[in-house]
Structure 1
């Protein structure tokens, strides 16, 4: 058993595609049109193009419990997911220059350093560096 696709709920697939590729640096892998104007839209890390795919899932638009869950995580400041990075401070500085908003600046927490950003599509995303 292995992880091949992980989904993240987004309010707008096109806006999410722009943010995740142009700001976070992911690469589009699949873009398959589906019914209702939705897409099977996946991204991969530029450093692991054969690795797990990140599905930009339009669930909050079509499934009320998903929308409520996403909204409540946002209100509570809880990250929906996390991405590992080699250097949180360097990534934070790069993303701030691109206009990305952070609710948590780089902070050491034991053996980790974390920062939390707003993906502009309804999610807090935590960046994590192992120290």
Structure 2
């Protein structure tokens, strides 16, 4: 068993697609119209045939109260692995991405957290080298 698709609830599918592709560098995979919304997925440019993220509309009544509560508590919805958190922080900051947590070393891992502009906090993570 493996993960095929995971959802990120978004307030605006088209704005999410623009942010995740033009700013973060993901690639579009599927855009299937389904009435008012679309089955809209993206994938990592480093693994375009790998796991997809569904940019899912947040129109279910349970989504917004839950999402608002976790954002208010500073909890990221998803975590994306990177090789160098500081380098990604610098690159994305230059592109206008707003971070709620600067790169922070937690021993075995370094993380940073940003606002994805469509209602979520997303965490960047990189494993730190084990001490010699």
TM-score under structure 2 length normalisation: 0.95
The number of residues matched between the two structures is 128
In 2: Cα distance, 1:122 partner to 1:108 partner:
25
For 1:96 and 1:86, the matched residues in 2 are separated by 17
Q: Deviations over 1:77-120 (max 9, x none)?
A: 11011000011000000000000000000000011000000000
> How does 1:1-131 map onto structure 2 within 5 Å?
1-35=1-35, 37-58=36-57, 60-61=58-59, 63-131=60-128
* SS, match of residue 74 in structure 1: helix
The superposition leaves residues 54-81 of structure 1 with CA deviations (integer Å, 9 ceiling, x where unpaired) of 00000x22x1111111111111111011
SS of alignment partner, residue 47 of structure 2: coil
RMSD of the TM alignment (CA)?
Answer: 0.6
Larger helix share, 1 or 2: 1
- Return structure 1 stretches of 4+ with deviation > 6 angstroms: none
- Structure 2: gaps of 5 or more residues: none
Aligned partner of residue 62 in structure 2, secondary structure: helix
TM-score (norm. length: structure 1):
0.96
What 5-or-longer segments of structure 1 have no aligned partner? none
